[in-house]
A and B are shown apart, each in its own frame.
Chain A
């Protein structure tokens, strides 16, 4: 009996995995306007997990998975700017304010810790939370300053990227009808 209670408690303590949903589809885009040409890159390898109970959310994006139009740009992005061998991922860990399960928030605000290039910063951005019948979509668009995250632009680079780059994220999570979310 004692053991049974113990097992039950252990199971209960590990917050029910059904409440934490991992994204199934994602798109993260990086855009920088530059003098010679605009530079853009996209990855679909980013992953996110959201706790449907309280709106806690995490993102993890492998830097070297960004695809550029030109191989050389990709190499420079990884080697010169992001140093992706040293700092392989960008992460965000935070919470969506005023979160309520199954309630779409067209003007949601997420606050938390954004880590890029090994530098962690308190960060807040606007975005949208869209609940559909069988899925949840989270979108956001924000600007980050390279300087804030210690990303240096080598002084003799011909193609200079802007001091501020625009990041767009679109993540999709599956929602299972029969799962009850309890407070």
Chain B
């Protein structure tokens, strides 16, 4: 190539030479790097889904946008102790325990179902979760993940009067929008509506609107800090309730996720902790709690 350039140099005008050099130079000196450039387009044209915005399907009390992948079964144990300010007599809350056992299953990578049983009012719950948008970059782009959640709960104890099963039911519908910013920080917003078939007094509204917010901040490959807050827009008027709040740490060890936290909420399902939290976090009504989840691959994963 250089030989040719020399030969024809005489007949060229300077401008042409310059132009030719622009083409010749990259071809000769960067011929090798050019091989990788040739592959750039081919390997760039993939969809890159954002990984691990949250490590658990739950953040503290409520759900995250995360869904289990197809064929994954998650076994969850929730534990909430009594309030720390109950003092030495109750061993700072550890004497009291409230728990939920649950199973969650990935029907597809984006559709999950779950069932659970909480000791709080001996409640059965079930939910359906659908992640209809996944944050991604590359060939296809989406700035956020969006997941829909619908839950139903059936308490089996009658506290005050005889209510039918239908009358005891409660529901929550929630939209979760999350975005992972860079490698460490994930934020989530979750507006929703709780519907209670029975409320304490006739003047109370059966529908409670709320807006939740949550974060996860990754410290390293195994540890992350989390927090969440559920603000009630129109809380039930006849009973003094507080917004559910929590701060925690996620510890991941492979198949398990351990979530240790402090929260003012006792119930472990949406319509319970959002509308029925009667402890004030800022008064010291803080409970220690943890969630443990263990994932089993029981079905074939999605190709």
Contact = CB atoms under 8 A, between A and B. Distances in A.
A61 to B, nearest CB: 7
A157 B39 contact: no
A6 B33 CA distance: 25
A164 interface: no
B24 interface: yes
A45 B138 CA distance: 15
22 contacts: A9-B20, A13-B20, A13-B27, A22-B38, A48-B39, A60-B43, A69-B297, A69-B301, A70-B297, A71-B72, A75-B51, A78-B52, A80-B221, A85-B48, A85-B183, A86-B183, A88-B48, A93-B32, A152-B221, A156-B251, A156-B253, A159-B254
B163 interface: no
Nearest to A77: B51
B204 to A, nearest CB: 43
Interface residues of A, number: 51
Interface residues of B, number: 51
Contact of B23 (A14, A79, A159): A14
Interface in B129-172: none
B87 interface: no
Interface stretch (B8-16, B95-103, B227-235, B261-269): B8-16
Nearest to B24: A13
A100 to B, nearest CB: 19
A31 B11 CA distance: 60
Nearest to A5: B8
Given A158-B253, A158-B254, A15 B31 contact: yes
B71 A60 contact: no
A19 B109 CA distance: 43
Contacts of A168: none
Interface in B14-70: 16, 19-20, 23-24, 27-28, 31-33, 35-36, 38-40, 42-43, 46, 48-52, 68-70
Given A9-B4, A69-B297, A156-B251, A93 B43 contact: no
B254 A157 contact: yes
Interface stretch (A51-59, A101-109, A173-181): A51-59
B23 A10 contact: yes
A117 interface: no
Contacts of B40: 60
Contacts of B50: 85
A6 B19 contact: yes
B237 interface: no
Contact of B255 (A5, A79, A154, A159): A159
Contacts of A60: 36, 39-40, 42-43
A84 interface: yes
Nearest to A45: B46
B280 to A, nearest CB: 35
Contact of A67 (B12, B33, B303): B303
B31 A56 contact: yes
B295 interface: yes
B88 interface: no
Interface in A6-20: 6, 9-10, 12-15, 20
B239 interface: no
